[in-house]
Amino acid sequence: MTTALEHPSTTGPYLATGPDDLIRRFVREGDHVHAAATMSRPNALLNAVCRAFAGSGSMTVSTTAVHSSAHALALSGAVAKVITGFVGDTYPSPRPNHLYRELAEGRPFEVEMWSLLSYTQRLLAGALGQPFATTGSMLAETDLRHGKEGKLHLMPHPDDPERTVTLLSPLRPRFTLFHGVAADRRGNVVACPPLGEGAWAAYAATEGVLASVEAIVDDEVIAAMPDRVVIPANRVLGLCEAPLGAHPQSLRTGGLAGVDGYLDDYDFLTDIVAACKDPESAAAWYEKWVGGVGSHADYLERLGGTRRAALVFPPPPGVPVAVDKDRSPADGAAAPTEQEQLIVLGARAIVDLVRERGYDTLLAGIGTSHMSAWLAARLLGRDGVQVRVAAELGLQSMDPEPGDVFLFSQRHAERSQMLAGVAETLGGTVAANPRCLGVLSAAEIDPDANINTTLLPDGRWITGSGGANDIASSVDCVVIAVASARRYVPRLTHLTSPGSRVRDVVSQFGRFTRAGAGAAFELASWLPPVPGRGRTGKDLPDGPEAAVRDLTGWEFPEPSTGVSGFLTDEKAVTTEELVLLRTMDPEGFYR
């Protein structure tokens, strides 16, 4: 077996002919490989892992999230266990994937779920050679703690006996797979922020890094940009070129070493979601793009030059920026849909909370929550109130590109004032910032505002935590979720994120609020609901009491009293609000 000792830094890394050569030279059945994530993954290397070990059911893979082309891990039969924080789909909106309906039963592989920050903190501990990491996430209330005996420990807080702190075991894969912008032949790898988990996974690997890059360049090119080297040569065991090695995800390059960046391939992502709805079409997709592809060069040939050229970002001079194919009119002429009313009421709640309590940052969770956060920031900005919007993978002070609804688009990265990583964002910007307001969604939410995004009552998998547990554990939050008896439940199937810091819960017909943790929620504002989810005008509740009774599974105090002694009538959704929202989401993914 090849080991790191056979490749001292004086000789440089093994220069492979491609991802398949690199994986077959170093990785063996039963290994733990880590797919490092920035706003992308080393997908060409993961595809090579699937081809090399298809059907073995032996591999352990850790990665921040399993979505898009990483579904090949399940379809290949190569993997025994996945360590992650999210399993499902993210585009065009977060949702469960049919492949994982039985994930809780260990099919198609065993899964070990963490929150995004605690996952990153475990890598940090491994990278720093520490016996454990500490975190304010993964608290006693969450069911995410189950099945992790020996990997986390709840301890009394040294300065506050009423609080606890969680100790986490280090996460140490054998190999870390990484895709960068460029590298020299010595093995120095260059990458651009946002960096997600950053280089911590590279240092946490017990053996070292297997890296793919868009281009291997002369040593002098990298020597001229030492501040852009993310992974040093002494950690890199093997290296190969893999143009579009993150496809179908995006890669930001900043033009370094003359390498073009590229966008997420939304059409490709949509095709994957559609294919995975049926076992036969899923198998056909896998055979076409992974199992039946001889090499990454063949994969690129199958993509075709026209498709590849269309993804280049920023586009070459003279090429117009295309965000969507068919823009709907960005006007307020049509009446709001149920989802539009929900997003607008969510934005209004955020605006009120920012004005009342002086929050300076919104951490936007993916889904209707980030649409409300974006809209709130625009509405506040029109009134001269500045609030920063951040996303967990490292985007801070975002100014989202109108027309692109994907939270982690490189278009938004280009319009952000700061690009960092998970630790800086979920740690510094959120957990350490008392002026941050978390904006979350929920698959289930109980009367104490505890949130479930993991398991449905029938045992089907939803998605997992992502960064939601980290946000809900550390800062004040508002939850934005369509009310139904299946979503607003008396008791959760699985407690993913604690609700003690949730201030408000916003539905499509009004805002529930409470005096503080432990107090009961009350309906504080009311706007008659609009038809949605199979309902017609005749099926709609005719007042606040009927809405609470018919559209939730909660029991509330008399809604006519409200927390402040009265129920406020929300004004109808305005033309201004609809124009802003429809400009952000012209294709109606969230409407």
Looking up residue 96, the CATH number of its domain turns out to be 3.40.1080.10
User: Do 75 and 209 fall into the same domain?
Assistant: yes
The parent domain of residue 114 ranges over: 13-130+170-303
User: Do 349 and 213 fall into the same domain?
Assistant: no
In a domain? residue 354: yes
DSSP helix/strand/coil, 240: strand
The CA–CA distances, whole Å, from 340 to 9, 381, 572 equal 57, 20, 12
User: Do 430 and 508 fall into the same domain?
Assistant: yes
The confidence score (pLDDT) of residue 537 equals 64
Of 282, 303, 324, which residue is a domain's last? 303
DSSP helix/strand/coil, 418: strand
In a domain? residue 3: no
Question: How many whole angstroms separate alpha carbon 141 and alpha carbon 151?
Answer: 17
The CA–CA distances, whole Å, from 49 to 17, 23, 266, 591 equal 15, 6, 24, 38
Sequence-distant (6+) residues with CB within 8 A of 106 are none
DSSP state letters, 290-312: IIT--SHHHHHHHH-HHHHHHHB
User: Do 430 and 368 fall into the same domain?
Assistant: yes
The confidence score (pLDDT) of residue 327 equals 45
User: Do 474 and 545 fall into the same domain?
Assistant: yes
User: Do 566 and 481 fall into the same domain?
Assistant: yes
User: Do 411 and 297 fall into the same domain?
Assistant: no
User: Do 434 and 539 fall into the same domain?
Assistant: yes
The confidence score (pLDDT) of residue 557 equals 55
The confidence score (pLDDT) of residue 542 equals 85
In a domain? residue 210: yes
User: Do 570 and 458 fall into the same domain?
Assistant: yes
User: Do 345 and 296 fall into the same domain?
Assistant: no
Question: How many whole angstroms separate alpha carbon 577 and alpha carbon 495?
Answer: 34
User: Do 259 and 345 fall into the same domain?
Assistant: no
In a domain? residue 420: yes
In a domain? residue 333: no
For the chain, the domain total comes to 2
DSSP helix/strand/coil, 370: helix
C-alpha radius of gyration, the chain, whole number: 24
Is residue 166 within 8 Å of residue 195, measured between CB atoms? Answer: no
The confidence score (pLDDT) of residue 322 equals 54
DSSP helix/strand/coil, 109: coil
Predicted structure pTM score: 0.93
Of 303, 327, 348, which residue is a domain's last? 303
The confidence score (pLDDT) of residue 348 equals 98
User: Do 34 and 102 fall into the same domain?
Assistant: yes
Strand locations in 326-472, DSSP E?
A: 361-364, 388-390, 395-396, 418-419, 436-440, 444-445, 451-452
Question: How many whole angstroms separate alpha carbon 296 and alpha carbon 288?
Answer: 13
Residues of the chain with pLDDT under 50: 1-5, 7-9, 324-328, 559-560, 562-564
Count of Cβ atoms closer than 10 Å to residue 221 Cβ: 17
The sign of the CA dihedral 43, 45, 48, 49 is negative
Question: Token pair of 276, please?
Answer: 């995975």
